[in-house]
Copies of this chain bind each other. A is one copy, B any other.
Amino acid sequence: MKKLINHPEAVVDEMLDGMAAAHPDLLKRLPGSSVIVRKNAPVQGKVGLVSGGGSGHEPAHGGYVGSGMLDAAVAGEVFTSPAPDQILQAIKAADGGRGVLLIIKNYAGDVMNFDMTAELAEVEGIPVKRVIVNDDVALKNKQSGERRGIAGTVFVHKIAGAWAEAGASLEEVHRIAEKTVRHVRTMGVALTPCTVPAVGKPGFSLGENEMEVGMGIHGEPGIMRRSLMTSDEVAVDLLNHILEDLPVKEGDQVSVLVNSLGATPQMELYILNRKISKCLQDKGIHVFSTHIGEFMTSLEMAGCSLTLLRLDDELRKGLEAPANTAAWVQA
């Protein structure tokens, strides 16, 4: 295992310290916890937004803590759901008197721990609503309830965060977050595995000329393992899977997010976007904005995911509102 770390068991703890040290103007670490909160949290009179999950997906989710996005992010161990006591600290830190929305990626452990904590918070008098993100169309033949939450989650942070910042009520922010989930789809490909530090060896293996289509962000199996495709073939394949599932018609407006899983260079992301952009243009679908980079990673996995978000006025307003976080700045 070739990593720039100290102790495999300390990676999350040390990362959180390093993050707090890097961005004191934006965020802080709640002492003794694995919770990153907005510097001025709780913001009185604003709905609080909390997300989180296993670590190893950076900048998700601490990188999205700041004005216009999240109020708090809870970090579990690598690829492991955070514990309820940590989530409860995040909810309390985020509550500015108008309730808290939990943005949860659809994994059994995350859903169970966030749900359990939501009940504890309600007992303590904090109104809590939750939205479960399940954007991964690689599992489209399953019920949407079984789909995983991946990079589309970042659009939910951005849009719900903007409306919360604008003063919307918990019910409104929840409704808009739910709508964002209905409008967003993602699918990815992996070229190499990644290694969880505490495990010390790759979670799976791929042959020299193999790729996995539809792989999850923890290395969950996809829908097909096959020989390496060209970038253009990957672009068409991901786009087709998404458009089979997401109703987008000529004249509609979308936002595109091309996400590196960790080791894939920006050069390759831009080459992929070239074809995606052409295909959408050919279909008469208007691209409102394109976001290229690392948004929801899997440590040092090589590969990428494509996310499409179908916009309406409400979602577009949320997307174009200002934000100031470590990983997403919008003037």
Contacts and interface: CB of A to CB of B under 8 A. Distances in A.
Interface of A: 2-6, 11, 14-19, 21-23, 55-56, 58-59, 63, 189, 191-192, 208-209, 211, 228, 230-232, 234, 256, 258, 262-275, 277-278, 287, 290, 292-294, 297, 299-300, 302-304, 322, 324, 326, 329-331
Nearest to A322: B331
A208 B302 contact: no
Contacts of A322: 331
Contacts of A58: 265-267, 270
7 contacts: A2-B211, A4-B272, A5-B271, A18-B272, A18-B277, A21-B277, A22-B290
A187 to B, nearest CB: 14
Nearest to A298: B265
Contact of A262 (B6, B258, B263, B299): B263
A265 B331 contact: no
Contacts of A16: 270
Nearest to A207: B2
Given A22-B273, A274-B14, A290-B22, A55 B267 contact: yes
A4 B268 contact: yes
Nearest to A266: B58
A300 B18 CA distance: 23
A304 B4 contact: yes
A1 to B, nearest CB: 9
Nearest to A210: B2
A324 B275 CA distance: 25
A314 to B, nearest CB: 21
Contacts of A265: 56, 58, 262, 297, 299-300
